[in-house]
Structure 1
Amino acid sequence: MRSGLRYYCDECIAYETQALSIRRLTKSTVTELIRNSRKNTDLLVALESQLTSRMLSEPDSPKRKKIAVDRQPTVAASVTLSGDPGSAAQQSISAAAQMVLRSKAKKDSVSECKGREILPHETPEKSAISNTLIIPTPHVDLTSGVPNETGSAAVNAVVPKPVTCVVPKTVTCVPQRKQIFVSRLNPDLSSLDITAYILHIYILIYLKKLDSFLQLYYQNTRGLQSKLTKLYTDSFSLSSHVIVFTETWLKPEVLSSEVFPSKYTTYRLDRPSRRGGGVLIAVDSELTSEVITSDEINDIEFLCIKLSLPGISIYITCSYIPPSSEFPTYANHLSAIQFISSKLSDRDQLIVLGDFNIPRATWSTVETSNILLPSTQHDFLDGLLDISLSQVNHVLNFLGRLLDLCFVSSPDCVCIARTSAITLPEDPYHPTLELTIDTGTKVYEVSEKIAKRIPCFRKANFALINSLIACSDWSNLYLSTNINEAVNIFYNILNEVFDTCVPTYYPKISNQPPWFNKELARLKNVKSRLYKKFRASGSQAAFSRYLSARSDFTVLNAQCYKKYLARCKTQFTLDPKQFYNFVNTKRKSSSYPSSLKFENSAASTDQAIADLFAQFFQTTYSTSNPPDQSYPYVIPKSNFICCPVISKSSLLLELQRVKPVYSPGPDGVPGCVLRYCAETLCRPLHKLFTLSLETSDFPHRWKESFVIPFHKKGSKLNACNYRGISKLSAIPKLFENIITPHLQHSCRSLISSCQHGFIKRRSTTTNLLEFT
């Protein structure tokens, strides 16, 4: 099968052929055809006959527009068929598609894609199937009708630039959300071959991997202290990968979680005493980043972070040099930049940003390049040029000067332009800049994690669960004398019940703040769509529409945030968890680092980071027995602690007190099951607890726990700065709550009065009171 293209817009799909004007398959029919392709071949034959008769009998739409065009070299088009191409089902699909698509033949005409003007009654279908079609490149522009000698402008009128090659079978036109689907010429063909094939036919279309571009936003904020609330609320809707601020004026008392949410990893360098200054770099948390420190970087406002992308590293530095600074300050910044430059490999890139306050420097452009060269002598600028850095910022302030400079190691890979301030007011002395960096690789690595369905106990049928538990055969559990075997029987029965009564779903991770609503989401989408149109067209009208949409979103976002704060305050007694969740977001960040180090090991993937945490937490425990020690008090050697006896009535009472939590622990049984199924679970749990006490054996399954790393202080990139918090299952916690009062009563006379840790109504405070 030859390769080709299928084009669709948001409102319709139209197939253009050299000699055919053909109907489309409807959405419902195609969906049913594809869904049953592997199940029922006879159904395909019936659908084939039904579709063919319908297509042959249906008259032409009166609204269909046709134009006569001259023919250019053509491309064979097809749509990829799901499943094995050699299977009988797939051959039936292909045969059905051929019969449908070859009907309604009309020579020397081609249908024009004009949205709903072609077939307004049909639903857009983005996964329809087809056989080989011929797509011509006409001499006449389909939109304006202007003659076109090369045949390329007609394509550009339908398929806007730029076009993205996403996967070997897909080419996406991003600005207008239109797509071209490309199927393979043969099974051995690569995506590069398909890209070259399309470039050969559509000369003026520039195929570029848009996901290789890194978006960087730069602004001199002139102080963030009074703008933190607005920046925090608006940052949830930002799309920049990296945000660089100078003159933040922040103090160490301001937490980074108050500036940006966990969506960004924030790196800061503040002035500890004097007012002003300060630099900040915020990086998308999904990117692997780390701060670069060295003895070369001392007593200057200089910050450097390293982005680790597949096969390449990008170093981004931010500097602030106060006005009228002496040469030693510039020399220290130059030394720091030279140190970072020495770490670059062949493919790495270095981007030097900052407010360098060299107002007297003049710049001249280089022809056929975006590089600016200094026309005046300055040792700092000469030093940067000596290490092969080029200044690419050409955006002047309102005085016609350049205070904020941008030096890059690969000027051909960086495009810089002035942009509107995303959330903070712009300083006229320091225009806001946006950098588009071509990394040559994917910015985000494709996740290999397979989504796993998890049970939704909120929608569980607890009446049916109680009935099935009561009807289950528990005889093997009651007869078992091995606690681990009995526990396995218990969980096997419960899991079978859960499979029947508890629905499952794929978890969705939302990055939206708690005050977000549908109207805010709609305005955010409108704002993003208008911004893309402005970037594609560059017109002032598009920019005005974008500013209006952004203003509407900002106003509503601020109103929703105020209502959320008021709700947290007024509903504190009814819902204290919501209040403390808000407080915790301001006190600390809940995000984990994108890279981690422990001793001589480093990790940047989720699995490797988890293994490093496990390796560190394992070192905090000792497996050896402690040696014999002498104590200042006498320990009785012949005291006998009676084994507590658990009654069914007391167990039932404790089950009814369990908090109805819907999130399960490591054993998969949440607290809501224990609470709402207390009467039916009381007897089997009573057997397990009694057997564990009689055999003096705690089940292995109840020893499992989720260990959550909790950051204490210091760098988040160091595993030693975390402590582990264990999340136990609900059933062993219930067991602990039952036997703890018995053990405390029996051991009270054996515990020293000097013991304050892990004792009820005692703490470090009561321990200190012993010495005051």
Structure 2
Amino acid sequence: MHLMDWNIVGVAETWLTNTVVNNEIEISGYSFARLDRAGRPGGGVCLYYRATLPVTVQPDLKVDGIEAVWISLHHSKQRHLCACMYRPPAESIHYWDRFEQALHQAAVVSPSVTLLGDFNINVSSAATPQLHRFNDAIHSFGLKNLVSVPTRITPRCPIGTTLDLILTSSPATVSYNVIPCTLSDHSAVHARLDLALPSAKHQHSSQRQGTSLTRNMRTIYFPEFRDELANANLSVFQSTSSTDEMWSAWHTKFMRVLDRHAPLKSTSRKASSYPPWSDRELYQLQCRKKRLHRQWLQNKDSTHLYSAFRRARAAARNAYRRKRNEYFQILCAEHSRNPRKLWHILNTVTSRTRQRIEPMCDVEDVATAFSKVVTDNDRPPVLTMPQGPSRPTALSAFQYVRTNSVYRLLRGINAAKATGSDSIPGVLLKCCADIIAPSDAALINASLSRGTVPSAFKLAHVSPL
């Protein structure tokens, strides 16, 4: 994915279950949204997207009986919906009713839609069952399939079938090609979508408006969690394993139990609150405008709804400007004797700001700038420590860590602190200290005796100011 520089990658029929935790399928530089099939094996979809893209996951577009993951890509003050979808081959014709329901919900959110996935319907053959129902569904929502070449070739069907499709509402902006794949009998379908993405400043704002993965700790019933954790055999390590393998095994077992009791969920984040001049009247006008806009999108042939939407939009815009002007007039009157504050208000009204240095997001740029600051400045003098009695340097001279010492350290964790790179909340380490202390002590003693530290212990979250 890094070599091909792909921004969005959809995987259909993942076969993932709840026993596979998220950190097992993570890819550096990418975020992802997954939907596993429940109740029976197979199926499932997963959608990877570059972490720097202004993307919002849309769990509200989920429809029962449709295996699909939806995300919205922000561009030019608009949203483009992308989805990865999988349709099982044995689905009945009633599947397309649910499919139309999913398309209807997507059309309400945004008229710009692109669907990728394995639909298990051969569009290259007119004799394919349910093909007419599929065409009616996509044409009624203004979608067009772009793939016309075979995407699956098997010994039983050497001419190939076209099952992996690209459905889009903007065919003029999408180009595609089929890439043979050795990992599956399906070929990978690569599409290029030409969108005007926002500038760096707007990208940072969109990221703040995106989603974050959190755990609801209130859903954990701690007696059951402790019992399952005690039966997870955290202290069982292979004698030939390295410290990295020991830590990975411990962390995987712990996270597997945690994901079953407090699974990760996506929560939306808002970039900012309402402006200070907002009130209930303005809020009601905005809600009325959005409601009429949704109604008009569902029935675009209605001129009455479009006229009502335009009037509501003009009323909300005029009210916003009027209340904003009144707010700043009051501020200017209050600070008329404070020139500094008054100029700050005027610059805010006229959108005049000082020239700012854009933050550096590239890791190499940050490291280069940091090294330059360190080398350009005079280094502080090296402090000479007084010579004391010589101490042993061999790791074999360290005393083994006792379980009681680890237990006291775990019980002393501040549960209000943020989690580290291991993504384990401190409150769980504290409440389960008696269970995990023996395995932690064994891991620490193995690290001391072998003279190696797990690579994960050398990681830290660094936020340049």
TM-score tier, shorter chain, comes to: 0.3 to 0.5
- Higher-RCO chain (CA-CA 8 Å, sequence separation at least 6): 2
Structure number, greater radius of gyration:
1
Q: Give me the TM-score of the superposition, normalised by structure 2.
A: 0.45
